[in-house]
Amino acid sequence: MIANQPRPAGIISPSRKLAWRWLLPLFISLLFVTTLIWLPLHEKQQETAERQEQLIADSLWVEQTIRFQLQRNEESLKLMGAEVAAGYLRGARLQERMENLIRNNHEIHRIIHLDAQGRLLGSTDETLISYQELSPPSKLADERARVTRTPLYSQPAPDITGPVMLDYHVPLFVQNRYIGSLIVSYLASSILDDIVPWWFAQDNEIALTDTNGNVIHKRASGGAGRGFYTHRRTLNLAGVSLQLTTNSIKSAPKLLPSLLVDIVILLSLGLIWSLIALWRDINRRLAAETALREQIAFRSAMENSLITGLRARDLDGRVTYVNPAFCAMVGMPAEAIVGRLPPMSYWAPEAVAEYHQHFSQVTAGTASQQGFETIFMHADGNRIPVLIFESPLVDDSGRQTGWMGSILDISDRKRIENLNRQQEEKLQASARLATMGEIASTLAHELNQPLAAISSYTTGALNMIERDRAVEHTPDVGMLEHALQNANAQAQRAGQIIRSVHTFVKKREPMRTAITITELVGSVMPLVELQAQKYFVTVRTNIPADLPPVLADRVLLEQVLLNLTRNAIESMQTTPPDKRILRIVATADQGVPPYVGVAISDHGHGIPPEVAERLYSPFFSTKADGMGMGLSICRTAIEFHGGTLTHADNPGGGTIFRFSLPTAPGDVAK
């Protein structure tokens, strides 16, 4: 009866206890064995996946490194092409620039410069002597680049020199005219040998193939790949697509004999490797972010430190960007400028029409490459002279998105120009005084003649009156009138000489008026004849009466005529008397715009070639007592009026100096 009594709650039977004693260790043992088997397999699988992922990450980094280096070279070549098209780079400077680019980028094999007909203008490779030596794919890419007006790569192919080349073609255009190409060539081997890091090549076999899988070049510094860890990346370039294939030299991971030791080692190594990989990835990411921040900071600092104002506008004329220099130039914050459409608040009211006309020329592509000079109005109302250069703003796809302008504050240049003009005027006044000093003795001698004649006529008239008074006769009125008229004519002649000298040396501001060549020559003819009489020179003029007037400063042109005629007269001191002839001839040139030319010819000693090279240089003179400023001032004065001063040998012996001046506009001439 007792044996059949029920057990108290919570008490386990001995059989069940025995079962749990066996089942629990068995379960633990099975779990341990399963863990021992699963962990190596899982570790192997995990290691395989991690190696594959690392290979993919490294391959991506290598592909980006190759792409970044090629893009940097592309930008350098495009900048070089822009400077060649603008005329800044040519000849030796272009050759030096190309060689410097190759020295700084070892992956570049050569750079060549072709003209519009494909002729070789320059090359860093002396073995290449003709455009025809390029590979057919390279020639095809050159034609496509010229048609599309876009830089393109060619398919890799061997040219006449042998190695497989990858050529990058940059077409050059001046406005819409094709003027040639710049071609940079990469050895297919150099792309892998010089750009791919050594540490990556030690762990992987890397190959460059075309889209069909044909191997262009292969690099295996650490040996052949095992074919277990592989990855393929597409390298898309402008005009061509290549494949970058990586094959790791590592084999599949193996199970080690001692599983427990192996598990501990693998777990430790896996942890360490994961930490290293994570640390490396983090460092790379931080380095990339730091480089990006530094690049952004550098560009911002560069733009902020510029003294040249920068302004970007979209195709509608809306301002999209201004730098601090531009804001300081107009005295306004960027917020008050960006996003605004013309008319702008910094436009001077008197130049609004000029601004609109200039922007119309910019959008039409007819703006001058020399820049547009105008004035801006500062926020305080001051006017600022500026020089504006406008160029198209093109995005990375080649599409124009607006216009980029560089604005230079030329206030200092204007002040210097005004100062130089004042100094030039002072120098011209000094030159006139020096010129008058040279003819002072002749002037004194010439004035003695009319004064002596006046004295003779008046003395004769007084003697006639005294004689008739003594004999109580009426004086002969006719003879007295004739003597007084002659005395009056001589007095007027002396006065004309003095007035001509006074007008010539008088200091005043330049003033342009419409004047004929006949009036100009007539005003200086008394002074010219003074000098001519001193050296027994005959003056002959040939000036048509119907010549159009010129808009000029009378005194400046009188100085030019007097300097040129004085030089011509003095050059004939040793010429036989019968050949001492000074000719002043004026002609009209019906060009665009029309000009009036004046030639002063002599039969003097002429100008030797070694003297002609420095003839117009300041302070150069062949005279022992000369200042060396006469011809320099003459050229400056003529160029100030928009004309030219030249000289040539006289076929009959001597020299001909000729200056030309634009005629006055019709309304001014009237």
Supply the pLDDT for residue 616. 66
Supply the pLDDT for residue 425. 67
Lowest-pLDDT choice from 292-296, 376-380, 477-481: 477-481
Instruction: Tell me the pLDDT tens digit for each residue of 528-565.
Output: 887 888 788 899 999 998 899 988 887 778 878 888 89
Q: From CA 49, how far away is CA 249, in angstroms rounded?
A: 16
Is the model's pLDDT at 172 over the cut of 60?
Answer: yes
**Residues 267-273: contacts with CB under 8 Å, at least 24 apart:** 267/43, 270/43, 270/46, 270/47, 273/50
Instruction: Tell me the pLDDT tens digit for each residue of 511-527.
Output: 678 889 998 888 888 77
Q: From CA 568, how far away is CA 562, in angstroms rounded?
A: 10
Q: From CA 620, how far away is CA 628, in angstroms rounded?
A: 4
At how many degrees (to 10) do helices 630-640 and 411-438 cross? 130
Is the model's pLDDT at 70 over the cut of 80?
Answer: yes
Is the model's pLDDT at 301 over the cut of 90?
Answer: no
Is the model's pLDDT at 93 over the cut of 80?
Answer: yes
Supply the pLDDT for residue 586. 92
Q: From CA 29, how far away is CA 380, in angstroms rounded?
A: 92
Q: 3-class DSSP state for residue 416? A: helix
Provide the Cα torsion 621, 624, 581, 656; round to 10°: -10
Instruction: Tell me the pLDDT tens digit for each residue of 408-420.
Output: 887 778 788 777 7
Mean pLDDT of the chain: 78
Cα–Cα nearest to 334, from 372, 302, 375, 304? 304
Q: Per-residue confidence at 445, pLDDT binned at 50, 70, 90?
A: very low
Supply the pLDDT for residue 428. 62
Q: Per-residue confidence at 584, pLDDT binned at 50, 70, 90?
A: very high
> Scanning the structure block, which residue is given the tokens 């005194």?
555
Judging by DSSP bridges, how do beta strands 538-542 and 581-589 pair with one another?
A: parallel
Q: Mean pLDDT across the stretch 588-607? A: 85
Q: Mean pLDDT across the stretch 447-451? A: 60
Supply the pLDDT for residue 556. 78
Q: Mean pLDDT across the stretch 93-114? A: 87
Q: Per-residue confidence at 444, pLDDT binned at 50, 70, 90?
A: low
Q: Judging by beta carbons within 10 Å of its beta carbon (0-12, 13-18, 19+), is residue 254 exposed, middle or buried?
A: exposed
From start to end of 155-299, where are the E strands?
A: 157-158, 164-174, 177-187, 204-209, 215-219, 230-237, 240-248
Residue 531 tokens, joined: 């000098």
Is the model's pLDDT at 151 over the cut of 90?
Answer: yes
Supply the pLDDT for residue 15. 55
H or E segment at 589?
strand 581-589
Q: How far is CA 291 from its chain centroid? A: 30
